[in-house]
């Protein structure tokens, strides 16, 4: 069984090397998760904006309104690809552990009183926007540097 698993992982690595992609440069996205994300997205040029990709993944917020009533509780729509959503959830969970920017964003959401699942969902969306940009621009991920604030004298 372990030999078969190793064969599959090697074949997957060879296939990922043949595809010109930089998605695995994002912290939290390894070969298996990157392959799942790429296979579910397909051609990135199908999506004009990141909002359309977010909706395709089903991690956009639902809207509850009728007439003058407008609901305040929002939930993840889950109307898109469940496989893409799962891969993003796994990648976001790893990104929170291995990337300072995503970790700080997660902790900010938790400090706002959001539940763990809601905070990870927010990281999923942020991560998917990064995936969109990397695939559209065909360039590696660059970690954002925090701006240096001037010291008050």
The pLDDT tens digits of the residues spanning 45-69 come to: 999 999 999 989 988 776 666 677 6
Distance CA 85, CA 102 (A): 17
The pLDDT tens digits of the residues spanning 66-112 come to: 677 665 666 666 788 889 999 999 999 999 998 888 999 999 999 99
pLDDT at 148 over 50: no
Domain boundaries, the chain: 25-61+74-137
């Amino acid at each position: 069984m372990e030999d078969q698993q190793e064969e599959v992982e090697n074949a997957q690595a060879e296939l990922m090397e043949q595809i010109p992609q930089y998605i695995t440069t994002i912290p939290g996205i390894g070969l298996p998760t990157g392959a799942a994300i790429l296979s579910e997205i397909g051609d990135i040029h199908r999506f004009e904006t990141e909002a359309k990709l977010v909706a395709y993944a089903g991690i956009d917020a639902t809207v509850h309104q009728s007439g003058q009533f407008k609901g305040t509780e929002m939930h993840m729509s889950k109307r898109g690809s469940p496989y893409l959503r799962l891969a993003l959830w796994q990648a976001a969970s790893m990104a929170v552990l291995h990337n300072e920017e995503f970790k700080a964003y997660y902790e900010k959401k938790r400090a706002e009183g959001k539940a763990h699942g809601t905070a990870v969902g927010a990281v999923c969306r942020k991560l998917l926007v990064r995936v969109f940009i990397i695939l559209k621009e065909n360039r590696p991920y660059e970690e954002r540097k925090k701006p240096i604030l001037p010291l008050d004298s």
